[in-house]
Amino acid sequence: MRQLWLLALPIYILSAQVHAQSALTPRQQEGQKILMTSCGLCHEKPDILNPAVAPHLSRSTLGGHVDDIIAYIKTGSNVMPSFKYMYNDEQLRSVADYIISRPDEAAEGHKANDKK
Ligand code: HEC
């Protein structure tokens, strides 16, 4: 019976992760899901050695203007598809909200190297 605490350990780790996640609002969590599904392919680094083909999306994207970000996603560009028919306004707002909650790349790099 002494090993019983071992069973509790994964549950503890899991709940800690859920807790870390909840730093995002429900809307931002929805946006995060959309970003990972539809945008990550181009906008997230495939791995440490390969650069992403598209710019990192963060609070500094388009000056952090939610409406500009939404307009961009709706329209797309000659290299980026339009998501106008794929996501409704509510979903696009979620993605934009999530994007402006993310630190910019320089800040992330700084954090990773900061050993304090
Ligand atoms: C096929 C690759 C691809 C996909 C998928 C893609 N993008 Fe892009 N995106 C790009 C590229 C490349 C750029 C660089 C600017 C340009 O030429 O459009 C860009 C630019 C942007 C910009 C403007 C960034 C800036 O600083 O000017 C925003 C905002 C953006 N993408 C959001 C998104 C979101 C949100 C999604 C998912 C719903 C997404 N993109 C999916 C390729 C992609």
Summarize pLDDT for 19-37 with one digit per residue, the tens: 555 589 999 999 999 999 9
Ligand 1-lining residues (CB < 6 angstroms): 38-39, 41-43, 53-55, 57, 61-62, 69, 72-73, 77, 79-81, 83, 95
Query: Cα(25) to centroid of ligand 1, in Å?
Result: 23
Summarize pLDDT for 48-100 with one digit per residue, the tens: 787 778 999 999 999 999 999 999 999 999 999 999 999 999 999 999 999 99
Task: Provide the whole-model pTM.
Answer: 0.80
User: What 3-state DSSP class applies to 61?
Assistant: helix
User: What 3-state DSSP class applies to 44?
Assistant: coil
Where in the chain are the domains? 24-113
Q: Going by C-beta distance under 8 Å and a sequence separation of 6 or more, which residues neighbour residue 29? A: 21, 98
Decide: 84 and 74 in contact? Cβ < 8 Å. Answer: yes
pLDDT of residue 116: 39
Rg (CA), the chain: 18
CATH architecture, domain 24-113: Orthogonal Bundle (1.10)
Please report the atom of ligand 1 found closest to the CA of residue 41. Answer: 5
Task: Return d(Cα 54, Cα 33) in angstroms, integer.
Answer: 18
